[in-house]
Structure 1
């Protein structure tokens, strides 16, 4: 029997997890992972908050809800098995008024529907038993929400891929993945070179470039990726201990993004952020310069303008935190007034690969499509990193086997 050849495109945590899962389930297979950078985990995987989300926000029955809960278990076990840091620091989602409290109670029901363990409503002074310096009328406490370094997890997975006999092709940006008439798959690199191996199956986990690679490979053009940056600030050390874990606002359904919050990092530092604003480039982590091609793509996308006109109030709100560090800090200190005089330093930005429909709506759930023997991850925002090992299981054991409705 001939050996089956698998290609995985993308060396972020999702692509690495898929390659690992293939080698676990098919130890005799040839698995080749293509990564355009000189190292793995150079994009969204190493530019995020590091939160292991418990599943508080995701509609019952959605892929996000299912894969997030499974992902938490897998990430926790992976960190334990590989001696990687895992800090179950806990999280409170805080309501500042009665309107937010009503929304918070709905969030509590979603958490119960998703069987998030040990969640509890806190009221008034009860909040201080978890976060002594936090104020609010009510809070949802998720004690098992945790923080990790997804970059360290990803790099350990890369080592495991090699240990299991897989191959990682660095400095190898892929231009297209094509189904051939003979059932094989051809990988063409951006250099124009056709990779010499013909593959039986391929999985595209291209993150910020997922829509472009899908289009080049013959898949549907939409949803299209529109990049939004999120700025973080790190609190100076003398202010770090006023917050013990994670403090989040209650999501406002009028706004598409969550809002500024406190997040403890696995290195012990405390951050505030992120805001959310349109990025001038898909990979613009330092905030400098712009990419004309990236800007042109969303400016000429009708869905973007439909989104923009519907979200002018959100854009105005977020712009205040983009152009004023004081306003950014003020958003956070609504929840912890003792930090009103804190000083902070900018941290590296994150870029959210936000998939957007032609009607201007943001794609909420994970989108995983199969086109012949090629599978494309078209949308995997938060909790994409939390869910990464579960997404890999789902793709390898359900999508690629034709058991999932995609």
Structure 2
């Protein structure tokens, strides 16, 4: 049998894309493959569960456009499928003069991105969140929280209802694109498809090379380590509490995140991962490690961010250091409040010159589309990413 479409990758982006293809091509045959035993187990299932607004992202970028539309579509999808979703809003808190200046610049960016954002002063911040201290804040009312694993499952139900086939526990080891078809191979069997989409996340670079695509980047894993507050402290804040990001740093910083299940988490930091898909602290995979240890882009990245990397590692090893970052805006937190929670791992594309690819990156061949870089806010943006990928795939189909 030759399938009309095959999708590799069972995270939220891959499953959303499979569903979108079947919406656009009703009656088509489609096969979705994922190597894990269940869908959405990696980046989809290890994040803060935030429906992002798009306030941070470069105007005109795919992230800015798709996160804004994705937030709307995600909320609509949740309502249609009975998935719990709360729009609790986000406060980005400035704690000193330098951060306040960056806050003002971020507010200007939010206006360019067409977002509804309110500037509040220190007194109003304290009134809204008595446990939070700062010189002022930006309030983003449209930010919400959700469980993206449940969204992924509902999307998968839609794929099956439309006639799609989903296979898990399948490790793809070969992709061969021919003039008239693509052959996808595992260790046990192979399939043929007229068209292919690859949404492989942490394995995106490997799948691209497997397909014969010449790429000039590598996925480098970054661990995002979280803590969870005790149940009696879960009502400490009512909104998502974020620091003002430093534009010279690659990640957003440690934040307080109420979760849709009622828990309150702190995190994530960003430390270099020694494995792409292992989540325990100090987990190590020699193949993953030596692959990026031999990559020139890793050393260029490390040289450009040596101070940040040392600080992140120090705070990963020292709970007191991690706590100090949180206490800048939430001074009543204590060491006892920081209880262990499973980490997440971000798939970050890094170019050979050491530059992190910040925007979504999508590549097309005659019969395939590869999503090569889709870190946060990919979960928020999954539905419009699926629209973009499907449109590119179906051009000329």
Secondary structure of the 2:208 match is: helix
- What TM-score, normalized to structure 1? 0.94
- Distance in 2, matches of 1:341 and 1:352, equals 26
Secondary structure of the 2:235 match is: helix
Secondary structure of the 2:324 match is: helix
Give the equivalent residue in structure 2 for 1:72: 71
Shift of residue 341, structure 1, vs aligned partner: 5.7
Give the equivalent residue in structure 2 for 1:287: 281
Secondary structure of the 2:174 match is: strand
User: Residue 134 of structure 2 is aligned with which of 133, 136, 139?
Assistant: 136
The answer to whether the 8 Å contact 2:320/2:335 transfers is: no
Give the equivalent residue in structure 2 for 1:356: 350
Secondary structure of the 1:349 match is: strand
**Equivalent residue pairs, number:** 397
Give the equivalent residue in structure 2 for 1:150: 148
Range that drifts further, 223-232 or 326-335: 326-335
Question: 1:183-194 alignment to 2 at 5 Å?
Answer: 183-189=180-186, 191=187, 193-194=189-190
Shift of residue 192, structure 1, vs aligned partner: 5.9
Shift of residue 329, structure 1, vs aligned partner: 1.6
Q: 1:402 to 1:311 in 2, by over 3 A?
A: farther
Give the equivalent residue in structure 1 for 2:104: 105
Q: Report the structure, 1 or 2, having the larger strand content.
A: 2
Question: 1:305-324 alignment to 2 at 5 Å?
Answer: 305-324=299-318
Give the equivalent residue in structure 2 for 1:19: 18
- Distance in 1, matches of 2:104 and 2:168, equals 47
Give the equivalent residue in structure 2 for 1:57: 56
Residue 229 (1) aligns with residue 223 (2):
yes
Shift of residue 36, structure 1, vs aligned partner: 0.6
Q: 1:137 to 1:93 in 2, by over 3 A?
A: same
Question: 1:3-402 alignment to 2 at 5 Å?
Answer: 5-117=4-116, 119-181=117-179, 183-189=180-186, 191=187, 193-195=189-191, 198-340=192-334, 342-398=336-392, 400-401=394-395
Deviations for 1:172-226, whole angstroms, at most 9, x for unmatched residues? 1112322203x2111111x16322xx21111000000010010011112332100
The answer to whether the 8 Å contact 2:4/2:193 transfers is: yes
- Distance in 2, matches of 1:210 and 1:34, equals 14
Shift of residue 130, structure 1, vs aligned partner: 2.7
- Distance in 2, matches of 1:251 and 1:402, equals 42
Q: Provide the alpha-carbon RMSD of the alignment.
A: 1.7
- Distance in 1, matches of 2:250 and 2:147, equals 26
Q: 1:216 to 1:325 in 2, by over 3 A?
A: same
Shift of residue 126, structure 1, vs aligned partner: 1.4
The answer to whether the 8 Å contact 2:3/2:31 transfers is: no
- Distance in 2, matches of 1:178 and 1:345, equals 47
Deviations for 1:28-82, whole angstroms, at most 9, x for unmatched residues? 1111100111111111111111000001101111100111111111100110000
